[in-house]
Chains A and B, each alone.
Chain A
Amino acid sequence: MKLVTAIIKPFKLDDVRDALAEVGIKGMTVTEVKGFGRQKGHTELYRGAEYVVDFVPKVKLEVAVDSAIVEQVIEAIVGASRTDKIGDGKIFVYDVDRIIRIRTGEVDQDAL
């Protein structure tokens, strides 16, 4: 089992959600986050003073998947969120030791 964490542009969230649904993903966690990478921040202007805002708003999406479909999931996220412009984000893939569905006590694959 893998945990796929993707940092994406906020306006791409709906596209990514649809693409993931198509490969059979049934749940995900989405968080509004801020950060910076090569895109750096942006400037904001207040009464003639320009401020560099380092942290750009992004969406962090976490989805736990069966190892068998991890490549499909990555493709779906990349395909739906890529704009070819700087700041498209990153995907991190982690191993997951255990998964437990709280309501039923099901574990691992059954809990996905």
Chain B
Amino acid sequence: MPCKKRSLLISTVSTVILAGLSAAAWASTASTDSGDTAWLLTSTALVLFMTIPGLALFYAGLVRSRNVLSVLMQCFVLVSAVSILWIVVGYSLAFSDGGIGGLIGGLGNAFLSEVTVDSVAGTIPESVFVVFQLTFAAITPALIVGGFAERMNFAAMLVFCLLWTLFAYIPVAHWVWGGGWLAELGVMDFAGGAVVHVNAGVAALVAAIVLGRRRGFPQTAMLPHNMTMTVTGAAMLWVGWFGFNAGSSVAADGVAGMAMLVTHISAAAGALMWMVVEWVRHGKPNALGVVTGMVAGLGTITPASGFVGPMGALIIGASAGFICYWATQLIKQKFVIDDSLDVFPVHGVGGALGMLLTSVFVSAGLGGAGLPDGVSMGGQFVVQVIAVVATAAWSALVSYIALRLSGRVAPLRVSVEEELEGLDLVNHEERGYNL
């Protein structure tokens, strides 16, 4: 039975990863696989490419021209700052033993003190695993930028995002991927539906509420200043996502191959579904709609990507396009929350949807890799709900406190006049365009 074989493979892979990360003694005697290593080196580059330039351009095109640099700058600086945080304590707290049971890892690997040229994680050099995981840590706070875009003060943004990464991203990464309590429960989050997308989506929503609306929202139209940039960035995200999801197999194997296939299917289905909904509802197919549906499809397949089959991916992608569209209408128009670039409805809702649907489409009968022995679909569903709720609640709490703390260090948002002038000049004394 090919399905059983794949499910066995998945559990073997994850066991190997966890063992490799936690047991240094074991790691030193293991050897690396050159194929796996080559694919993870490639995936790491792809995931970094998602944030800069992919996400940065995607977001930058969506804001008004006076804020274009602020968004590019925030993404770029977050990649740099989170990278340093990751090597100082982040990697250790997420992936080491010796912390607080199941909640957070230890500090034994702070400053990567135990990572050498010979250390191994699973079948790849640990150095590669460190930087692969670093790119995930970097994109997650960069996703939040879309929630507070066009009004948050740069200094407060930096403090907030670093606090959030330390106290929200890193713990949740430990819970799910570092052998923490959700991993013990048997959660299925292949590439970060909860860890990345629910986590960042909820943080963006909380930030949007705490900061308040942009001046003029919702009466004034705040039109994207450069849709070409946005579509370009979105296309880069699609390409980069192959590294994100297929790389999360941490091996160049059949699971990686299937993850790439289902990722692609879901992106395509999400794009088309969003296009159809807008076409039917508003009379025109719309470029921003297509790329947003694609991102929704990608975010939603993320937790499922190592577990489901092609037909599961088709349904997951299509439901992402449909549900994330309506979530966007609900947040922006019904609740009038100014989550500027719709991070919560696309990433938060999509990530949660994907987490829940994983428990359905993992089933061997529906073309998935199969549930572990003794686990029912209902049982897995409950575990997935617990993971989503716990992640959302923790992220919301940390976001709120981190925003209040960063508001003490520097004003959270710029003044009304400065908002009109634009963050590029006010925060950076530069202009995106000198035409």
Contacts and interface: CB of A to CB of B under 8 A. Distances in A.
Interface in B251-291: 277-278, 281-282, 284, 286, 288-289
- Main secondary structure, interface of A, reads strand
Contacts of B31: none
Interface stretch (A42-50, A69-77, A88-96): A42-50
B224 A49 contact: no
B221 A51 contact: yes
Contacts of A47: 288-289, 292, 325, 328, 332, 342
A53 interface: yes
Contacts of B277: 48
Nearest to B227: A46
Interface string A34-69: 000000000011111111110000000000000000
Contacts of B223: 44, 46, 51, 53
Contact of B289 (A48, A51, A52): A48
Contacts of A51: 221, 223
A44 B342 CA distance: 17
Nearest to B325: A48
A43 B65 CA distance: 20
Given A47-B288, A47-B292, A52 B281 contact: no
Interface string B316-348: 000000000100110011000000001000000
Contacts of B342: 47
Contacts of A45: 278, 282, 284, 286, 288-289
Contacts of B288: 45-47
A44 B286 CA distance: 10
Given A45-B284, A48-B282, A53 B292 contact: no
Nearest to A50: B282
A48 B221 contact: no
Given A44-B221, A44-B223, A49 B333 contact: yes
Interface residues of A, number: 10
Contacts of A49: 329, 332-333
**Which of A47, A52, A53 gathers most chain B CB within 10 Å?**
A47
Nearest to A48: B329
Contacts of A50: 282
Given A47-B342, A48-B281, A53 B221 contact: yes
A51 to B, nearest CB: 4
A39 B221 CA distance: 19
Interface in B372-396: none
A46 B342 CA distance: 11
Interface string B292-309: 100000000000000000
A48 B224 contact: no
**Which of B221, B224, B286, B292 gathers most chain A CB within 10 Å?**
B221
Contacts of A53: 221, 223
A38 to B, nearest CB: 21
A47 B146 CA distance: 14
A50 B283 CA distance: 11
A15 to B, nearest CB: 28
B153 to A, nearest CB: 26
Nearest to B328: A47
Contacts of A48: 277-278, 281-282, 289, 325, 328-329
Contacts of B282: 45, 48, 50
A49 B288 CA distance: 11
Nearest to A52: B221
A51 B325 CA distance: 17
A54 to B, nearest CB: 9
Contacts of B289: 45, 47-48
A45 B286 CA distance: 7
A45 B292 CA distance: 13
Interface string B18-46: 00000000000000000000000000000
A40 to B, nearest CB: 14
A51 B217 CA distance: 12
Nearest to A44: B223
A35 B112 CA distance: 60
B200 to A, nearest CB: 18
B56 to A, nearest CB: 19
Contacts of A44: 221, 223
6 contacts: A44-B221, A45-B278, A45-B282, A47-B325, A52-B221, A53-B223
Interface of A: 44-53
Interface of B: 221, 223-224, 277-278, 281-282, 284, 286, 288-289, 292, 325, 328-329, 332-333, 342
7 cross-chain pairs, A with B, having the tightest CB-CB distances, nearest first: A51-B221, A45-B286, A48-B329, A45-B282, A47-B328, A46-B288, A47-B292
Given A45-B284, A46-B286, A49-B329, 8 more contacts: A45-B278, A45-B286, A47-B289, A47-B325, A47-B328, A48-B289, A49-B333, A50-B282
